[in-house]
Amino acid sequence: MMGSFLDIVRRDLRLALRQGADSLMVLAFFVVGVVLFPFGVGPELAVLERISAGVLWVMALLAALLSLDRLFQNDYEDGSLDLLALAPVPLPIIVLGKVAAHWLTTGLPLIAIAPLLAVLLNMNGDGFVMLVTAMALGTPTLSLIGAVGAALVLGARRGGVLLSLLVLPLYVPALVFGVSAVDAAVMGFETRAQIMVLGALLLASAALCPWAASAALRQAIE
């Protein structure tokens, strides 16, 4: 079962790397979106510092959302999803493999570039480690929850808009505790609680989302 999980991850990574533009575009969207804020709110360093954690998290959330539609869409359109559903591997394992590959090609690059953008927004250096830690716990949660939404809107017209309406409200807990963890670290407070909550969100979504998504996929291919 572990072997099949890795086979799916490997296949989806290969597909994503051959279509490299998709992942790069998500990253570019994240960078451009963050860069817009200093233009919008003005170059006062105190203001930028105050909003930096929130801006980074909201933009990471939107970037993750942007990449979700291709999670199952291609497999659905070309018939691969039928064959995956019939393979002698439990569908939740396949979903988990696809989510893992999605996170590796979108979440991980976002985490890598976030500290660089934090400098741009004048975030206090004390927050950097916490920013990366919180995002490392939070972005897989975003991919997992997003997979349920992506599976639910399969086959719907204008699925992208529907997807954001479905998924964004569910992203709120990760956003609240992610921002709060970074703010607390910047101000020198204890961050244990926020990290624990982010970890709990990740574990809960890892346990529930693959099952919910595979139920939605079975509905979609009917």
Partner 1 sequence: MNSFSDPEARPLSHAQPPPRFEGRGVACVRGERVVFTGLSFALGAGDALVLLGPNGSGKSSLLRVMAGLLSPAAGGLLRDGREVRDDPESHGAAARYVGHLDAVKPVLSVAENLTFWAILHGVDGAAAEAAVAGALERFGLSRLASVPGKLLSAGQKRRVNLARLLLSPSDLWLLDEPTTALDKASIRTVEAILAEHRARGGMVVVSTHADIALGGFATLQMDEYAP
Give the interface segment with partner 1, choosing from 59-67, 77-85, 108-116, 148-156 (CB under 8 A): 77-85
Residue choice 32, 35, 45, 79 for contact with partner 1 (CB under 8 A) = 79
In whole angstroms, the minimum distance from the beta carbon of 90 to partner 1 comes to 7
Residue choice 13, 47, 62, 85 for contact with partner 1 (CB under 8 A) = 85
Residue from 68, 78, 63 nearest 99 by CA = 68
Residue from 82, 108, 104 nearest 30 by CA = 108
Q: CB within 8 A of 19, min separation 6: which ones?
A: none
In whole angstroms, the minimum distance from the beta carbon of 16 to partner 1 comes to 10
Residues 89-148 that bind partner 1 (CB under 8 A): 89-90
Distance CA 53, CA 42 (A): 17
Residue from 32, 63, 24 nearest 164 by CA = 63
Angle between the 108-120 and 21-41 helix axes, to the nearest 10 degrees? 20
Give the interface segment with partner 1, choosing from 5-13, 103-111, 187-195, 206-214 (CB under 8 A): 5-13
End-to-end Cα separation, the chain, in angstroms: 25
Residue from 195, 83, 208 nearest 147 by CA = 208
Residue choice 14, 35, 125, 204 for contact with partner 1 (CB under 8 A) = 14
Residue choice 11, 47, 49, 215 for contact with partner 1 (CB under 8 A) = 11
Residues 15-54 that bind partner 1 (CB under 8 A): 15, 18-19
Chain contacts with partner 1 (rule: CB under 8 A): 4, 7-8, 11, 14-15, 18-19, 77-80, 82-90, 221-222
